[in-house]
Structure 1
Amino acid sequence: MNEILKKPYVELKDSLNSGKISSTELVSACINRIREVDGAVKAFLYLDEKKVLNSAEESDKRRKEGKPLSEFDGMPVAIKDNICIRDTITSCSSKILENYKSPFHATVVEKLLEKGFILFPRTNMDEFAMGSSTENSAFQTTRNPFDLERIPGGSSGGSAAAVAASMVPLALGSDTGGSVRQPASLCGLYGLKPTYGTVSRYGLVAYASSLDQIGPFSRELQGCIDLYSVISGKDVRDSTSIHRPKFSASDVQPQDFKGLKVGVIKMTPEIQSEVVKSYDKVLNQLKEKGATLVDIDFSKFGFAIPIYYIIATAECSSNLSRFDGIRFGSRKDKTGKLEDLFVDSRTEGFGPEVKRRILLGTFSLSAGYYDAYYGTAQKARALIRKEYESFFSKVDCILQPTSPTTAFKIGEKTKDPIQMYKADIWTTSVNLAGLPAMSVPMGADQKGLPIGLQITTPHFQEGKLFGIALALSTLEGMNIQFPESIK
């Protein structure tokens, strides 16, 4: 691996700004690393090498002229395949969109380009972001760089694997029920799900509109802080985006543990023992440093997964109705009949998991069942929000493992959707409440597989969240050794 890619993100940024390395050198190193390892990892669906190199050369030219667009000018960032980039295929890892080229940029893409970032599209994902392992892609199964026989998490597994394998220093994913945090946990990364509405969804292909949020990945915390500072902000093209004071990365300071009230949850027998051990080790260190640990009752959140899957699938049933072979999507016109065109286009275009969720969502919204399922789920969602409000009247943050296990083997849970859904047992409630949360590395198990810790704070407290994450990174046993050789 090129020595450039062994440098921490902050050192890479400083080297670009000081002129020690050029963007062309950095981008070339990324391309060579992708050529070297992505045949095994399968993080990228496609990369236009010529285009990214041209962008790097333009960045270097700006710097030579003393006109960099920002301190990030020339920094590579990978983009998940459901975030639109003009004149670039955005397939959502689905056959129905395999030839769709977006005519516009997503807002987050515009913001990245304004700052001079070099975009590396497209990373693999679970089809339409429906999955927890990236095994549901229509094109390939992404593998965990720590163990190629295991999953990287999902649905943003391609973005997470690309960063963990040192192909790129940064990446964007999307998080509907844990799809940034869970792969971050399983790949040893920092991964942020922002407060709902703080990052524009314009140009993000919708799965569940009331839950989706775009979030960053990085091997170091500062990468997530910087990306969030760039992509956050009000957008008039997204009616759900919220006007807030501009977030400044320079304002983030390490949180003093003394006097910090930390909500903690009780571990249950089905949680992997090494996850429990790592969690207990963190809590013991927090107590030693003066934090107050407050037990919180998470038992009511056992219903979060069924609530999430009723609401998310109902919204996906509506959102995906546009992919009919006429308005959007590949057309399969075999008989010349309109009804057959709809049926054939969607039958051949969607994969099994997407079809399962469309059927479940359509059922939940159908006459006679709407109140019993969708209506009840929305009422329960409101109770989850109130429960979090109650928690945060007593604590400053909540700490819990991001995932109940480390990365499981490819194919282990594909035949049992319920077991797959349970991988998000601690992440879905955060989306239902619209809260900010981040997965941070919490060491590794005996096999060297990463374990993640989830930090949750009240709405709009990303600054505090980052401060807590920064302080946690100094604790014993939190660091991850990323693999250099991947075969």
Structure 2
Amino acid sequence: MTDLHRLSIRELAEGLAQAQFSSRELTAHYLKRIEKIDTQVNSYITVTAEQALAQADAADAAIKAGTATTLTGVPIAHKDIFCTQGIKTSAGSKMLDNFISPYDATVVAKGKAAGLVTLGKVNMDEFAMGSTSENPFYGATKNPWNLEHVPGGSSGGSAAVVAADLAPFSTGTDTGGSIRQPASFCGLTGLKPTYGRVSRFGMIAYASSMDQGGPMARSAEDCAYLMNVMAGHDAKDSTSVEKDVDDYVANLNATAVKGLRIGIPKQYFNVAGLDAEVKARVEESLKKLEDMGATLVEIDLNMTEAYVPTYYLIAPAEASSNLSRFDGVRYGYRCENPTDILDLYKRSRSEGFGAEVQRRILIGTYALSAGYYDAYYVKAQKVRRLIQQDFLKAFEQVDVIAAPSAPTTAYKIGANLSPTEMYLGDIYTLAVNLAGLPAINAPVGFDQAQLPVGLQLIGNYWSESQLLSVVHQYQQVTDWHTKRAAIAEENA
């Protein structure tokens, strides 16, 4: 019973169904690991031990009664951006450190309905704005592969808990790469679904036209199990699309890699900041896919240089609007002894928000202000359409598009990258959110420092099954997804 954390989601589900171990035993195993190991990683903001054990007991009763679903009794960690009834939901911010959600996000509610056991809520960049998870209030989350490095962001805690085997899988959100980049930095599989595939209800908003929840796990198969729970239309979310949901697990071998046309954007592999080792590992993985029967097709994505400026006008503009609700009046952080209403607003927001959140609010407010709205925001939206058309044109020639997930491996904690350097690190991920496309990260090796490297595959709309299937088949002939950091090998 000391190695339950080494089992895949399928093995956990089968073990529970066959009474090889109980959900209580499994949950207690993970809670013990969290208590022992997370002091080094700092991945959890809130551990819900008492509630988790109660959910585990309920799961065991359902399994015994024959009313269980496939995943009943399997533990999960939720990014602390998803509202959880009766549990603190902070979005990684001092602003919401005292907020106890009165309801569950749809993603959380679906997890409960499937019998998943919530271990707790995990750390992240404040309000999902960042790429390192060096949280200014809750402290930096560490990369399990090297505790001196960041796990990526904004879903850094979601990546770190899985990479350290402190949860079998986790939920993340992706507004500009926040699932794929930390999955790349931590050697995991992470899927950003098509915009509208997973409900945003109860997910604290950053940039509403780009936010999307998705699964993070060790393998494509593990992600497919969680996608079966997360995906689907939700009447509570006006951007949720009414479209039939695939059985992602059943479809894991449905896409033939033989004959698959993989687009290689020449602009992506000539980016100035692309690390040579990252490029080499990605090219090796593409060669492997070619050996499996795929065809590599060089394509042009001519709008590449527009990704970063377009995103960093539209996303902060939406953030400025979304975060205006946190004003010290209704809920959340409130400054002490305000002299008047203006002082209440100013000090609550300046004391409650960290530097990066304040920076993006200010950029967004400027872009939306009178005299600048047409010059910046409207033009950025027009360019966004051109970026989308660039991808749609490419998909006339190819089935999927390949790229690195990030131009480098994980940064050192405290590297103090300038905002521009940090934003340029998102060069390969931003366009997917601007266009609303699905994309997946797959681990494909390591650099000389033994930090993981990730391959990103981008699909056309609603092609999540295809992306999971291609990565699953790649993972049948490679073992990068099975590699574990030293800290994950510790037994609690």
Q: Which runs of 5+ in 2 are unaligned?
A: none
Alpha-carbon deviations, 1:159-216, whole Å to 9, x = none?
Answer: 1100000011010011000001100011011101000001110000000000000111
Residue of structure 2 in register with 1:27 after alignment: 27
Mapping for residues 304-323 of structure 1, pairs under 5 Å: 304-323=307-326
Tell me, in whole angstroms, the C-alpha distance in 1 between the residues paired with 2:340 and 2:173: 37
Query: Structure 1, unaligned stretches of length 5 or more?
Result: none
Over 3 Å counting, the alpha-carbon distance change for 1:349 and 1:275 in structure 2 is: same
Alignment-mate amino acid for residue 253 of structure 2: Q
Taking the aligned partners of 1:424 and 1:2, their CA distance within structure 2 comes to: 39
Superposition deviation, residue 477 in structure 1: 6.2
Counterpart residue number, 1:281: 284
**Residue 378 in 1 paired to residue 420 in 2?**
no
Cα distance between partner residues in 1 of 2:119 and 2:395: 39
- Cα deviation digits, residues 6-31 of structure 1 (max 9, x gap): 22222112111111111011101101
1:103 alignment partner in structure 2 = 102
1:460 to 459, 462, 466: 462
What is the TM-score with the length of structure 2 in the denominator? 0.96
One-letter amino acid of the structure 1 residue matched with residue 174 of structure 2: D
CA distance in 2, matches of 1:61, 1:8: 23
Q: Is 1:430 matched with 2:441?
A: no
| Residues 1:243 and 2:245 aligned together | no
Quick check: 1:254–1:471 contact (8 Å CA) kept in 2?
no
1:255/1:470 contact within 8 Å kept: no
Deviation at 1:252, TM superposition (A): 3.0
Q: Is the 8 A contact 2:301 2:391 kept in 1?
A: no
After TM superposition, give the deviation of residue 346 of structure 1 in Å: 0.5
Q: CA deviation at 1:137?
A: 4.2
Shift of 1:103: 0.8
**What is the SS of the residue equivalent to 2:450?**
coil
Equivalences for 1:263-278 in 2 at 5 Å? 263-266=263-266, 267-268=269-270, 269-278=272-281
1:101-250, aligned counterparts within 5 Å? 101-249=100-248, 250=250
Q: CA deviation at 1:470?
A: 1.4
Counterpart check, 1:301 vs 2:304: yes
Query: Shift of residue 223 of structure 1?
Result: 1.5
Per-residue CA deviation, residues 424-478 of structure 1 (Å, 9 max, x unaligned), is 1100000000000010111112222111111111001111111111122134464
Partner letter of residue 179 of structure 2?
V
Total equivalences in the alignment? 485
Give the Cα–Cα distance (whole angstroms) in 2 for the partners of residues 395 and 433 of structure 1. Answer: 17
Distance across 1 between alignment mates of 2:126 and 2:288? 40
**Cα distance between partner residues in 1 of 2:393 and 2:83:** 38
- Structure 1 length as normaliser, TM-score? 0.97
SS at match of 1:239: coil
Q: Which amino acid aligns with 1:158?
A: G
Provide the aligned C-alpha RMSD in A: 1.5
Output the CA distance in 1 between the equivalents of 2:363 and 2:79: 26
Counterparts of 2:406 and 2:476, CA distance in 1: 22
Q: 2:294 aligns with which of 286, 291, 296?
A: 291
SS across alignment from 2:425: helix
Q: 1:61 to 1:289 in 2, by over 3 A?
A: closer
Paired residue type of 1:340: D
2:402 counterpart SS class = strand
Deviation at 1:45, TM superposition (A): 0.8
Matches within 5 A, 1:318-397: 318-397=321-400
Deviation at 1:328, TM superposition (A): 3.0
C-alpha separation between the residues in 1 aligned to 2:201 and 2:444?
33
How many Å apart are 1:220 and its aligned residue? 1.9
Q: Classify 1:87/1:468 alpha carbon distance in 2 versus 1 (closer, same or farther; 3 Å).
A: same
Other-structure match for 2:48: 48
Q: Do the aligned partners of 1:80 and 1:172 also contact (CA within 8 Å) in 2?
A: yes
CA positional deviation for 1:88: 1.1
User: Which amino acid is the alignment partner of residue 346 of structure 2?
Assistant: V
Of 283-292 and 368-377, deviating more is: 283-292
Equivalent pair of 2:282/2:454 in contact (CA under 8 Å)? no
> Secondary structure, in 3 states, of the residue corresponding to 1:441?
strand
Contact 2:145 2:487 in 1 (8 A): no
Q: 1:20 to 1:317 in 2, by over 3 A?
A: same
Per mean C-alpha deviation after superposition, the further-off stretch among 472-481 and 121-130 is 472-481
1:88 equivalent in alignment to 2:87: yes
What residue identity is the alignment partner of 1:306? P
Alignment check: 8 A CA contact 2:219 2:472 kept: no
Structure 1, residues 206-237: CA drift from partner, whole Å, max 9, x if none? Answer: 00000000111111211211111111111111
CA distance in 2, matches of 1:165, 1:423: 24
Q: 1:190 to 1:207 in 2, by over 3 A?
A: same
- The answer (yes or no) to whether the contact 1:81–1:122 under 8 Å persists in 2 is yes
State yes or no: 1:405 paired with 2:403: no
SS in 2 for 1:46: strand
Deviations 1:322-364 (A, max 9, x none): 0001123212252441111111110110000000000000000
Partner residue in 1 for 2:4: 4
Name the structure 1 match of 2:60. Answer: 60
Displacement after TM superposition at 1:257 (Å): 2.5
| Offset at residue 289 of structure 1 (A) | 3.3
Q: Tell me the residue number matched to 2:473.
A: 471
Aligned pairs for 1:410-421 (under 5 A) are 410-412=413-415, 414-421=416-423
What's the CA shift for 1:415?
4.4
